[in-house]
């Protein structure tokens, strides 16, 4: 009798299936200062599955920044995602998302030559729900939007190589880890939505322009995505990023210098 009660009371453990993928990401990041306190942010990501063979995701992210000081940066922005089916368990229909987000970035913590940056981001996600057509199940149209909240935390470590600081002509090693946490939905048991860990080698070409290239390992949890079983994507990614930061502030010209 006790054994029977024990068996009945034991929770069922959902089966988990893993899906490894090899992807290619090409990104742009930029913060363009137009006053001492304000700048605008530009960001775009061209993400391809199968080492560039098929679409994975397209992402555009404009934003406005407020520079409290050199160490603290506040950001308010918008993100547009276009998601595509890829891998062994693709989504049924290509679909899109609209995000609003608020962010705090803490710059400048240094340990010797190492610089550490922390980023905290809150996202409000409006995700398109696509309904299959009655005439053709392979075709779909927008039915409604579902809402999710997501919190992201990233720590980024930069080490200049063979130099005291990052400047034009200097290589750097960049290591970061970012965790994505879903919350607010009591029906979801898996609150860790994603994790990304990456090692990038950077080269500062000039004061505004840098190139980063390296490897990113991404895990994504998709509850119930594999015929009812929970799916864990294990994505190995080649990542190339082009960073361009413009300074649009007016320069003060000394009075004795001809204009």
Domain ranges (residues) in the chain: 15-244
Give CA–CA dist 73/82, Å, rounded: 28
Token output for 198: 């990456």
Q: Decide if pLDDT at 20 tops 90.
A: yes
Average pLDDT over residues 7-13: 45
Q: What are residue 249's phi and psi, to 5 degrees?
A: -70, 145
Amino acid 4: pLDDT = 47
User: pLDDT tens across 163-173, in order?
Assistant: 999 999 999 99
- What CA–CA distances, in Å, run from 84 to 120, 125, 183? 27, 17, 24
Tokens of 145: 């939007």
For 166-214, write each residue's pLDDT tens digit. 999 999 999 999 999 988 665 554 578 899 999 999 999 999 999 999 9
pLDDT of residue 41: 98
CATH fold of 15-244 reads Porin (2.40.160)
- Mean pLDDT, the chain, integer: 90
State the average pLDDT over residues 70-93. Answer: 96
* CA-CA-CA-CA dihedral for 107, 110, 114, 120, to nearest 10: -30
Q: Is the per-residue pLDDT at 79 higher than 50?
A: yes
> What average pLDDT does this structure show over 88-113?
93
Q: What is the pLDDT of residue 183?
A: 80
Residues 6+ apart with CB under 8 A from 96: 80, 81, 82, 83, 128
Contact 60, 30 (CB under 8 A): no
pTM beyond 0.85: the answer is yes
């Amino acid at each position: 009798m006790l054994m029977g009660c024990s068996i009945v009371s034991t929770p069922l453990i959902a089966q988990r299936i893993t899906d490894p993928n090899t992807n290619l990401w090409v990104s742009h990041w930029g913060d363009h200062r137009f006053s001492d306190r304000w700048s605008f942010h530009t960001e775009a990501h061209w993400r391809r599955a199968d080492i560039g063979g098929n679409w994975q995701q397209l992402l555009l992210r404009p934003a406005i920044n407020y520079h409290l000081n050199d160490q603290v940066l506040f950001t308010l922005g918008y993100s547009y995602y276009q998601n595509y089916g890829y891998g062994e368990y693709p989504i049924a229909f290509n679909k899109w998302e609209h995000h609003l987000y608020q962010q705090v970035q803490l710059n400048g913590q240094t340990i010797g030559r190492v610089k550490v940056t922390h980023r905290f981001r809150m996202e409000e996600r409006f995700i398109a729900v696509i309904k299959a057509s009655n005439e053709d199940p392979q075709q779909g149209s927008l039915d409604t939007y579902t809402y999710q909240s997501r919190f992201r935390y990233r720590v980024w470590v930069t080490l200049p190589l063979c130099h005291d600081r990052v400047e034009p002509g200097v290589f750097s090693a960049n290591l970061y880890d970012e965790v994505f946490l879903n919350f607010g939905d009591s029906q979801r048991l898996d609150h860790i939505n994603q994790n990304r860990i990456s090692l990038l080698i950077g080269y500062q070409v000039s004061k505004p322009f840098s190139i980063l290239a390296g490897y990113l390992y991404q895990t994504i949890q998709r509850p119930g995505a594999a015929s009812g079983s929970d799916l864990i994507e294990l994505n190995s990614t080649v990542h190339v990023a082009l960073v361009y930061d413009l300074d649009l502030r007016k320069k003060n010209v000394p009075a004795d210098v001809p204009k």
